[in-house]
């Protein structure tokens, strides 16, 4: 019996796991996100809620274990905290500290800061779903994979992969001193807002309409444009003052006149209102045309490469689409990347490895590149020829472009009926994002989506005004969600459903974060408050050490007296943080962490230099050197 023999809606594109079961062991965010997504894909329960954990769940997999029950066997996925890293990690705080998230997120304020969301765990949950879906596809194609392992730490490293590559490129040089400041902005009537443009003339027109100093707006353009790469945006303070001199309605009018995208930054009172049960992708069936073609498998997908023999055609820029293609390549697919004549301009963004951008390589190495002018009739014919021999077509074009090119789902399903056609957009099903611009949809970019979805509120502690992280949170998670939907479409096709269309967006990725935060807030009892974010104590932010920073785990943060005793400090009185910080400044972070661990309290030195992380042999199993440091595949498959 095979996966396709279950008979319960086995050919249902929207529910490719229909007729199969899922069990979960572990209460981590990663495990819960993975289970939620598998159930959204149609998996049912093997036992009543509250039943025994999945058989064989190892005691040393604290983040969780998922098992999908299939005819004739089970496919299990272990989610570790540290995975192959030789670093003791046991929770989200430790992972964020050790794997560079605190460092990158904190660049905008000049010091490492934890994200208020369990971001690495959410990414880890999605990676677990990737592994399970890929293993199921591989099993149908003859690989026999029965197990997969991933970790929250590998998820964290993947999320900072571009920054890691840039920091370790030969020409990267020493990191600049952190300089904080920048968006979002506050109007005279107290409205906080974000803006977006990739065009210098649009930037110039907007600020000129508000009467900004010409020198300030000229000095501000470069840091604004490069904030995605730098995760910091030190704008001249005169621009903040200009915004503060105008009411929001006047600012919105100037934005509309200039053509700059503008959205309000939503607060924590609305940030967790997004439905947690809405799937972050939409799967729809392609029109059936005759008998479905057999799923490629003749080239023998191996256990470690369950997508071997499948072909993905990708036409995408920036982060979201290329990362989705990168994930599929890591799982064994051949990815053919379409670039415009002359190549993608982002190839030359410094720092470079040889003649190519390190950041670009972090997302696109290993892909076969063809240059095609898709705006021309001849170019569109070339695309169709590629698609005729492909299994997946992926793009993140602006809304309306696919139809204008004659390369929408219906067009390409006419060429290849069994194609999985994937569109990765910015806003997708978001509501109200364009209200500040008279109904026009703003650019679908990371920081605007963070602002509108409420993620920008949830990444900050209670008491701080909302502000999107300048780490590309939804770009990365959006790419992973797109890949998740594509894998679901491929599995549905393997089970007899034929071709499919997969729609996902950055906003859909944001709902994964706000949904998991809503669930965590409900369990913590914070939903009756105006500010739904959990209250952070004085030891939540890392403590200064002689050579860096030290992040305390949850048990340590709630027990300052025990921390003081373990470190040999006087019992803190009055300002607890100040007292402990004064003591810790005299010792190396690693020594402090060792003392606290010996006392049964978790603590982790904070990564403050990605180049040092890449050179640390404890990370060697997860990071490889190839001109710069690149993150290895985050899955291990076993027969």
Q: What is the DSSP code string of 203-246?
A: HHHHHHHTT--HHHHHHHHHHHHTHHHHS-----HHHHHHHHTS
Residue showing tokens 């607890």: 576
Helix (H) or strand (E) holding 327: helix 320-330
- The residues with which 545 forms a beta bridge, in sequence order, are 548
What is the spatial distance between Cα 451 and Cα 455, in angstroms, rounded to a whole number? 7
- The residues assigned a catalytic role are 475
Helix (H) or strand (E) holding 561: helix 560-567
Q: What is the DSSP letter of 492?
A: H
Q: How far is CA 242 from the centre of its chain?
A: 33
Q: Which residues contact 278 (CB under 8 A, 6 or more apart)?
A: 511, 515
Helix (H) or strand (E) holding 420: strand 420-425
Kindly state the tokens that stand for 541.
Answer: 């932010």
Q: Which residues contact 370 (CB under 8 A, 6 or more apart)?
A: 336, 337, 338, 339, 382, 386
What is the spatial distance between Cα 120 and Cα 512, in angstroms, rounded to a whole number? 12
Q: How many residues does the chain have?
A: 639
Q: What do you get for the CA distance between the two ends of the chain, in Å?
A: 18
What's the alpha-carbon Rg for the chain, to the nearest Å?
Answer: 24
Is the bond preceding residue 412 a cis peptide, omega within 30 degrees? no
Strands 420-425 and 356-357: unpaired
Contact between 152 and 80 under an 8 Å Cβ cutoff? The reply is yes
Q: What is the DSSP letter of 629?
A: E
Please give the angle made by the CA atoms of 79, 80 and 83, to the nearest 5 degrees.
Answer: 120
Neighbours of 299 (CB within 10 A): 10
Q: What are phi and psi of 637, to 5 degrees?
A: -100, 145
Residue showing tokens 């992926």: 394
Kindly state the tokens that stand for 282.
Answer: 């939409």
Contact between 20 and 67 under an 8 Å Cβ cutoff? The reply is no
């Amino acid at each position: 019996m095979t996966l396709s023999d279950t008979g319960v809606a086995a050919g249902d594109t929207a529910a490719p796991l229909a007729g199969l079961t899922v069990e979960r062991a572990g209460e981590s965010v990663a495990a819960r996100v993975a289970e939620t997504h598998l159930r959204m894909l149609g998996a049912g329960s093997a036992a009543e809620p509250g039943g025994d954990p999945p058989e064989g769940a190892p005691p040393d997999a604290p983040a969780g274990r998922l098992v999908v029950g299939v005819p004739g066997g089970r496919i299990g996925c272990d989610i570790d905290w540290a995975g192959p890293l030789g670093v003791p990690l046991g929770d989200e705080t430790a992972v964020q500290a050790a794997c560079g998230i605190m460092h990158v997120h904190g660049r905008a304020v000049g010091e490492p800061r934890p994200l208020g969301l369990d971001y690495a765990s959410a990414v880890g949950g999605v990676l677990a779903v990737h592994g399970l879906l890929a293993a199921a596809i591989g099993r149908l194609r003859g690989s026999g994979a029965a197990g997969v392992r991933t970790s929250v730490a590998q998820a964290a490293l993947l999320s900072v992969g571009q920054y890691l590559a840039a920091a370790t490129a030969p020409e990267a040089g020493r990191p600049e001193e952190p300089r904080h400041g920048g968006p979002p902005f506050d109007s005279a009537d107290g409205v906080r807002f974000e803006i977006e443009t990739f065009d210098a003339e649009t930037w110039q027109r907007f600020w000129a309409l508000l009467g900004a100093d010409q020198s300030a707006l000229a000095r501000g353009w470069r840091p604004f444009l490069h904030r995605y790469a730098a995760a910091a945006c030190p704008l001249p303070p005169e621009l903040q003052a200009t915004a503060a001199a105008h009411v929001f309605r006047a600012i919105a009018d100037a934005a509309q006149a200039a053509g700059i995208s503008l959205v309000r930054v939503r607060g924590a009172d609305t940030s967790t209102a997004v439905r947690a049960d809405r799937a972050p992708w939409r799967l729809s069936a392609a029109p059936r045309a005759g008998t479905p073609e057999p799923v490629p498998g003749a080239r023998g997908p191996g256990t470690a490469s369950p997508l071997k023999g499948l072909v993905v055609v990708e036409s995408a820029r920036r982060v979201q689409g290329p990362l989705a293609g990168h994930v599929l390549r890591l799982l064994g697919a051949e990815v053919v990347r379409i670039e415009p004549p002359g190549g993608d301009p982002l190839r030359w963004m410094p720092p470079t490895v040889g003649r190519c951008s390190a950041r670009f390589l972090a997302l696109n190495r290993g892909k076969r590149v063809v240059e095609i002018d898709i705006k021309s009739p001849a170019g569109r014919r070339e695309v169709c020829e590629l698609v005729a021999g492909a299994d997946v077509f992926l793009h993140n074009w602006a809304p309306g472009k696919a139809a204008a090119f004659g390369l929408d789902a219906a067009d390409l399903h006419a060429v290849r009926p069994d194609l999985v056609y994937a569109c990765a957009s910015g806003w997708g099903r978001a509501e109200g994002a364009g209200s500040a611009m008279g109904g026009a949809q703003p650019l679908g970019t990371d920081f605007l989506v963070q602002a509108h979805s409420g993620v920008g509120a949830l990444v900050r502690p209670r008491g701080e005004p909302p502000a999107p992280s300048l780490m590309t949170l939804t770009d990365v998670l959006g790419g992973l969600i797109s890949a998740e939907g594509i894998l679901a479409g491929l599995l549905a096709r393997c089970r007899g459903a034929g071709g499919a269309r997969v729609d996902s967006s950055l906003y859909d990725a944001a709902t994964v974060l706000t949904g998991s935060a809503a669930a965590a807030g409900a369990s913590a009892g914070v939903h009756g408050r105006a500010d739904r974010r959990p209250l952070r104590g004085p030891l939540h932010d890392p403590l200064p050490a002689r050579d860096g920073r030290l992040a305390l785990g949850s048990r340590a943060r709630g027990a300052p007296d025990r921390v003081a005793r373990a470190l040999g400090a006087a019992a803190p009185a009055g300002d607890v943080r100040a007292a402990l910080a004064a003591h810790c400044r005299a010792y190396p972070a690693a020594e402090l962490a060792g003392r606290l661990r010996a006392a049964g309290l978790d603590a982790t030195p904070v990564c403050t230099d990605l180049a040092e992380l890449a050179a640390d042999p404890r990370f060697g199993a997860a990071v490889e050197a190839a001109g710069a440091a690149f993150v290895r595949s985050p899955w291990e498959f076993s027969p």
